[in-house]
């Protein structure tokens, strides 16, 4: 390695956006990356499809959260409801205080539930159903989101598990009701822009399919993170 080479050691990048980046002659040792990977080539090999194939092999049900038709979306939500029920059962077995504990700087279990309520409010109640201000005081945006007037961000809140689950159950019921009535025409449509409604997501039109896929992905991935951290907390 030359003296003028860029050295990144013992570095953590959270919420990083890397696009059109080239690392030439790089040495990657003991590197861990989690996130959305698209068109990423290492030594001439696009690793995105390889990673997806391996993750699908580890969890064959993972393909269900990438549905293409209304029945598929209903089956995906069935799966997520079942898996989250199992995860909540594990959480209830822990002392309540641990559910506010962060593992390795990540969200606590309660914060994860609050964030998923925010995701439903943003992409289902606001983007699809057209409510310009669907927010609950316990909603929790992602950490890197800019403060936005009208959108709550109370990181100091410490609701009980039952309080967080009451909000969570209500928002999951919203998704359940929507996908149960979902038609091919609705799935192929775009949302109606919210005229003059600043906030998140931006008041523009989105494909309904895209909005639903975002929610499914949030639900699937954050349950994995929650399971990972609950296992650590259970050992302590």
Query: How far, in Å, are 49, 97, 142, 156 from residue 175 at the CA level?
Result: 29, 29, 20, 27
Residue 15 has a pLDDT of: 67
DSSP type of residue 66: S
Residue 31 has a pLDDT of: 84
Rounded-to-integer distance, Cα 81 and Cα 115, Å: 16
Digit-by-digit pLDDT tens for the chain (236 residues) are 555 667 777 777 776 778 788 888 788 888 888 877 888 888 989 998 998 889 889 999 999 999 999 999 999 999 999 999 999 999 999 999 999 999 999 999 999 999 999 999 999 999 999 999 999 999 999 988 888 888 999 989 999 999 999 999 999 999 999 999 999 999 999 999 988 778 899 999 999 999 999 999 999 999 999 999 999 999 97
DSSP reduced 3-state for 41:
strand
Residue 161 has a pLDDT of: 98
Check: CB of residue 181 under 8 Å from CB of residue 160. no
Rounded-to-integer distance, Cα 215 and Cα 171, Å: 11
Rounded-to-integer distance, Cα 64 and Cα 76, Å: 5
Query: How far, in Å, are 97, 99, 226, 228 from residue 160 at the CA level?
Result: 9, 9, 17, 21
Residue 1 has a pLDDT of: 52
Name the residue with tokens 């149960």: 180
Residue 2 has a pLDDT of: 52
pTM recorded for the entire structure:
0.90
């Amino acid at each position: 390695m030359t003296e003028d080479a860029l050295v990144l050691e013992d570095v953590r990048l959270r919420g990083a956006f890397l696009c059109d980046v080239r690392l030439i002659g790089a040495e990657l040792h003991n590197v861990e990356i989690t996130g959305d990977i698209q068109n990423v080539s290492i030594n001439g090999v696009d690793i995105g499809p390889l990673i997806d194939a391996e993750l699908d092999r580890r969890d064959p049900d993972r393909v269900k959260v990438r549905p293409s038709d209304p029945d598929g979306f209903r089956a995906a939500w069935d799966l997520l409801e079942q898996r989250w029920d199992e995860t909540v059962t594990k959480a209830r077995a822990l002392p309540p205080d641990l559910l506010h504990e962060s593992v390795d700087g990540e969200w606590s279990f309660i914060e994860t539930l609050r964030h998923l309520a925010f995701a439903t409010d943003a992409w289902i109640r606001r983007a699809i159903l057209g409510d310009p201000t669907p927010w609950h005081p316990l909603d929790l945006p992602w950490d890197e989101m800019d403060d936005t007037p009208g959108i709550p961000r109370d990181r100091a809140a410490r609701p009980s598990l039952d309080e967080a689950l009451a909000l969570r159950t209500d928002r999951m019921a919203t998704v359940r009701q929507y996908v149960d009535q979902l038609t091919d025409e609705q799935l192929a449509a775009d949302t109606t822009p919210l005229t003059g409604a600043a906030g998140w997501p931006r008041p523009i039109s989105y494909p309904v399919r895209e909005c639903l896929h975002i929610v499914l992905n949030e639900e699937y991935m954050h349950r994995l993170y929650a399971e990972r951290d609950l296992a650590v907390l259970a050992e302590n």
